Amino acid sequence: YKMIRYGENPEYLVDFIETPQIDAPYGARGIAEHGIIGIPAALANAISLAAQIDVSRLPITPEFIWRERSKL
């Protein structure tokens, strides 16, 4: 695939749907937390496949990866 360059990216239209959360005070709803829940698991899975090690704990540091790779 050809990489896109600066200025070639499509225009994004972002819209928010406002629905109150019934059991929260004043109907407040968190907006940023839901997108970051799966990131540590996805990163650990990607590192596990790339380094061919079993990543089952956080934080994932370079030293941890090096130590696990040296066990092989």
CA 48 to chain centre: 15
Q: Could you tell me the sign of the dihedral formed by the alpha carbons of 62, 68, 71, 72, in that order?
A: negative
The model's pLDDT over 6-20, given as tens digits with 9 standing for 90+, comes to 889 888 898 877 788
Phi, psi angle pair for 67, to nearest 5°: -65, -40
Could you read off the pLDDT of 11-68 as tens digits, one per residue?
A: 889 887 778 888 888 888 777 666 677 888 999 999 999 999 999 898 999 999 999 9
Q: Which of 56, 37, 36, 34 shows the shortest CA–CA distance to 45?
A: 56
pTM of the model: 0.52
Neighbours of 60 (CB within 10 A): 16
